[in-house]
Amino acid sequence: MSSDNSAGDPNGLAIVRDPTIYLVGKQVIAEGGMADFLRDHGLEWSPDTEIPAQLIAEAAGRVCYMSFGKGRGTNEDYLGNILASGHGSVLEHAVWNFIITGVSRTFTHELVRHRAGFGYSQLSQRYVNESKAEFIEPDAIAEDPESHAIWVAAIEEAQGAYRQLAKRLRKRFAHIESRTQCRKLARQAARSVLPNATETKIFVTANARALRHFIELRASEHAEVEIRKAATAILKILSEDAPNIFGDYRLETLDDGTRVARTDHGKV
Ligand SMILES: Cc1cc2nc3c(=O)[nH]c(=O)nc-3n(C[C@H](O)[C@H](O)[C@H](O)COP(=O)(O)OP(=O)(O)OC[C@H]3O[C@@H](n4cnc5c(N)ncnc54)[C@H](O)[C@@H]3O)c2cc1C
């Protein structure tokens, strides 16, 4: 899990500055099935990695030429060659699941533009009461007291309007028998006044190839600071979890203190 840092605000507004990334799922090797496949085809294979993502990507690549057997190179060499040659389709077999919290609706709007190799499930503002929502304050605003004061006033006004509208609309739809439906009708209309900064939560599933592309676009100096923080945090998790797939990235700190990731093997 990457670290969180919810910043308190003397006004009582719940302000968050950094995303939290929870790695909640990853693959396991079905060892029986792998052994059956090798036996049925008269093959022996002794991979030198036990990391499922790395092993699965290598196995997928080896099926292409049925190039199993003793005396093969290391997994690091094999996947290094995949990265260098750009044969990235075998990386699509390695998959991770994350829950990302402490991020704004701005962030998720940018994130979900990544379609190939990604799956999403996001907190519903139609069902969930946002009366006590947290808000993501951009660093550039938080670092300047006057900008911060303007931002806090705008957020409080928007949240106040949401609460009033949700209350009024619940009364308007009170005749509807289903309380769930009544609340949904009220909240789906009231949410229209919530700002981009409203905190959200999103479950993300993605494969290694898609994640590499995401990191290259979003852990870049051209990307917005919030998504860049998330992309570098995800890279940190992945480079520890599967170094033979993500170990080629170098994290560099820019003059403004923000970080970017670079690689010599773009868009494999
Ligand atoms: C710095 C920055 C600024 C941006 N500014 C804007 C902006 O102002 N406005 C805006 O609308 N968007 C903007 N975007 C979003 C951008 O245009 C992409 O939508 C987003 O980065 C997702 O990347 P992708 O298109 O590579 O899609 P992914 O889903 O990540 O796809 C990965 C790759 O798969 C292939 N692929 C995916 N889908 C298709 C398809 N349907 N057909 C053919 N090939 C496909 C492509 O090769 C693609 O690169 C910005 C992105 C960045 C990083």
Q: Which domains occur in the chain, in start order?
A: 1-26+96-139+196-268 (3.30.70.3180), 28-91 (no CATH)
Q: What is the predicted pLDDT for the residue at 19?
A: 98
Residues 104-133: tens digit of each pLDDT: 999 999 999 999 999 999 999 999 999 999
Q: For residue 184, name the pLDDT band (cuts at 50, 70, 90).
A: very high
Provide mean pLDDT across the span 203-232: 98
Q: Is 85 exposed, middle or buried (0-12, 13-18, 19+ CB in 10 A)?
A: exposed
3-state helix, strand, coil in the chain (%, to 5): 45, 15, 35
Q: Which residues pair with 103 in a beta bridge?
A: 200
Residues 127-159: tens digit of each pLDDT: 999 999 999 999 999 999 999 999 999 999 999
User: What atom in ligand 1 is closest to the CA of residue 218?
Assistant: 53
Pairwise CA distance, residues 182 & 184, whole Å: 5
Specify the residue with its C-alpha closest to ligand 1, atom 28: 114
| Binding site membership of 112 for ligand 1 (Cβ less than 6 Å) | no
| 201: its two tokens | 């939560």
Share of the chain above pLDDT 90, in %: 93
Residues 14-60: tens digit of each pLDDT: 999 999 999 999 999 999 999 999 999 999 999 999 999 999 999 99
Q: At what angle do helices 179-190 and 145-172 cross, to 10 degrees?
A: 140
The catalytic position among 218, 228, 259, 262 is: 218
**pLDDT over threshold 80, residue 74:** yes
DSSP string across 2-67 = ----EEP-TTS--EE-S-EEEEEEE----HHHHHHHHHHTT-----S---HHHHHHHHHHHHHHT-
Residues 250-265: tens digit of each pLDDT: 999 999 899 999 999 9
Q: What is the predicted pLDDT for the residue at 9?
A: 59
**Amino acid identity at 28:** V
Give the three-class secondary structure for 204. Answer: strand
218 is a catalytic site residue:
yes
Q: For residue 2, name the pLDDT band (cuts at 50, 70, 90).
A: very low
Name the average pLDDT for the chain.
95
| Binding site membership of 267 for ligand 1 (Cβ less than 6 Å) | no
Q: What is the predicted pLDDT for the residue at 4?
A: 42
Are 45 and 62 in contact, with CB atoms under 8 Å apart?
Answer: yes
| Binding site membership of 223 for ligand 1 (Cβ less than 6 Å) | yes
Q: What is the predicted pLDDT for the residue at 3?
A: 42
Q: What pTM, to 2 d.p., does this model score?
A: 0.94
Centroid of ligand 1 to alpha carbon of 114 (angstroms): 6
Ramachandran angles phi, psi of 262, nearest 5°: -130, 150
Centroid of ligand 1 to alpha carbon of 254 (angstroms): 24
**pLDDT over threshold 90, residue 7:** no
Q: Is 57 exposed, middle or buried (0-12, 13-18, 19+ CB in 10 A)?
A: buried
